[in-house]
Amino acid sequence: MDEQAFYLKACINGVRTPEEHSALPVSPDQLAAEAMAAHGAGARAVHLHPKDDRGVDSLLAVDVAAAVVAVREALPGLPLGVTTGFWALPDAEQRRAAIEKWSVLPDFASVNWHEPGSEELAELLLSRGIGVEAGIFHAEAARAWAASDLAAHCLRVMVELGADGDVATAGGVLEVVAEAQSPAPVLLHGLDESCWPLLQHAGARGLQTRIGLEDTLRLPDGSLADGNASLVAAAVELLSR
């Protein structure tokens, strides 16, 4: 499999903090630098979590704009997405109101389907021309997504398993996703211990996948990665076998 035969997205920070890894990007300039490094190593898109002045995930327009503008200036044309995670603003109406105020729009945004108000939020994003990545954490969420009118309109479906996720669990969730017959491509990834096994499984099944400091801090051999670029390079090497 050559590099062009698979789709690899970089998830460059997530909810983690620099206390967990010194290279984890928080400021707009840091986000831009890590996005450039990840793209240079082979990532075809970038997903990030905008942060506020405290380094905490933010959905506020000012923080989203700062992050998106910085990366776009550094990498014009690179597909760029952000989180809408409920933890960043744990009230469905307040979250929707914050996203309605976004003045600089990302290309896409992830919507975790098990979170309150997910369908309404996805509708809002689509109405603003923002692609929706449906985040599917388990089979129940997959069934809810498959039954919704939005399944046919998503940019991507992400099967996102936790550290205890495995190939068998992924297979069950993927079956439910497939039953929806959505035209959206499917991305599979794990977290920490499940990250590399599920990335390899995604490659073997011809699915999209992702890698970055959001998903793991360690390389396949267990050593600490020095940043997103080394994780992306390791993923490219595995997927190219």
Tens-place pLDDT, residues 16-64: 999 999 999 999 999 999 999 999 999 999 999 999 999 999 999 999 9
Domain count, the chain: 1
CB-CB contact of 125 with 109 (8 Å): yes
Q: How far apart are CA 230 and CA 26, in angstroms?
A: 18
| Among 212, 215, 207, CA closest to 234 | 212
Percent of the chain with pLDDT over 70: 98
Q: Which residues of 208-241 are buried (b: 16+ CB within 10 A; e: fewer)?
A: bbbbbbbbbbbbbeeeebebbbbbbbbbbebbee
The single-letter DSSP state of residue 226 is: S
Q: How far apart are CA 115 and CA 65, in angstroms?
A: 24
- pLDDT beyond 80 at 218: yes
- DSSP bridge partners of 9: 45, 210
- In tens, the pLDDT along 82-118 reads 999 999 999 999 999 999 999 999 999 999 999 999 9
Amino acid in position 140: E
Q: What is the pLDDT of residue 3?
A: 43
Q: How far apart are CA 214 and CA 48, in angstroms?
A: 9
- In tens, the pLDDT along 186-211 reads 999 999 999 999 999 999 999 999 99
Question: Can you give the residue range of the structural domain that contains 192?
Answer: 3-239
DSSP code per residue over 141-157:
HHHHHHHSTTGGG-SEE
Q: What is the pLDDT of residue 184?
A: 98
**pLDDT band per the 50, 70, 90 thresholds, residue 1:** very low
Q: How far apart are CA 177 and CA 139, in angstroms?
A: 9
- pLDDT beyond 60 at 119: yes
* First-residue to last-residue Cα distance in the chain: 6
CB-CB contact of 51 with 26 (8 Å): yes
**pTM (predicted TM-score):** 0.96
Q: What is the pLDDT of residue 4?
A: 55
**pLDDT band per the 50, 70, 90 thresholds, residue 5:** confident
Instruction: For residue 25, give the CATH number of its domain.
Output: 3.20.20.70
Task: Supply the mean pLDDT for the chain.
Answer: 97
Q: How far apart are CA 215 and CA 62, in angstroms?
A: 26
CB-CB contact of 219 with 184 (8 Å): no
Q: How far apart are CA 211 and CA 47, in angstroms?
A: 10
Amino acid in position 48: L
